[in-house]
């Protein structure tokens, strides 16, 4: 998977098309990523007494759900436009990610 945790991405398809954010979590086995502020869902949390001074916490919370990695693209930091990602092997044998249009390392 060419998208990693901490990357700045833009959503290219789906209900949040055009939204951008930082990747919070990457799930390579499922080919999915969780992006901050994208694909927000409401989830019912069980009430627990684990809060500060025994306060009850729970109810309906809003959180991010994962989206498929094919629906996001990495953002070029210089041009602020979506860019494809490729790999390049250096002479010393290390493998680095590069932006396709410019060829710059990430």
Instruction: Reply yes or no on whether the pLDDT at 3 is more than 80.
Output: yes
DSSP 53: G
The domains found in the chain, sorted by start residue, are 8-99 (2.30.30.30)
For residues 30 and 64, what is the distance between their CA atoms, to the nearest angstrom? 16
Q: Please give the pLDDT value at position 33.
A: 97
Structure tokens at 8: 């700045």
- For 11, 33, 86, 92, 98, the CA distances from 65, given in Å and listed in that order, are 13, 9, 26, 39, 28
Residue-wise pLDDT tens digits, 47-101:
877 767 777 778 899 999 999 999 999 999 888 899 999 999 999 999 999 998 8
Residue with more model confidence, 1 or 11: 11
Which is more confidently placed, 101 or 29?
Answer: 29
Phi-psi region of 18 (alpha: psi -120 to 50; beta: other; left: phi over 0): left
> What is the DSSP secondary structure assignment for residue 105, as one 8-state letter?
B
Q: Give pLDDT, residue 55.
A: 72
């Amino acid at each position: 998977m060419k998208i990693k945790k901490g990357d700045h991405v833009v959503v290219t398809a789906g209900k949040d098309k055009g939204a951008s954010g930082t990747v919070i979590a990457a799930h390579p086995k499922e080919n999915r990523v969780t992006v901050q502020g994208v694909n927000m869902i409401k989830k019912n949390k069980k009430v627990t007494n684990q809060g500060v001074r025994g306060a009850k916490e729970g109810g309906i919370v809003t959180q991010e759900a994962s989206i498929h990695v094919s629906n996001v693209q990495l953002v070029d930091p210089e041009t602020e436009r979506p860019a494809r990602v490729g790999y390049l092997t250096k002479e010393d044998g290390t493998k680095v990610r590069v932006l396709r249009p410019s060829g710059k390392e990430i």
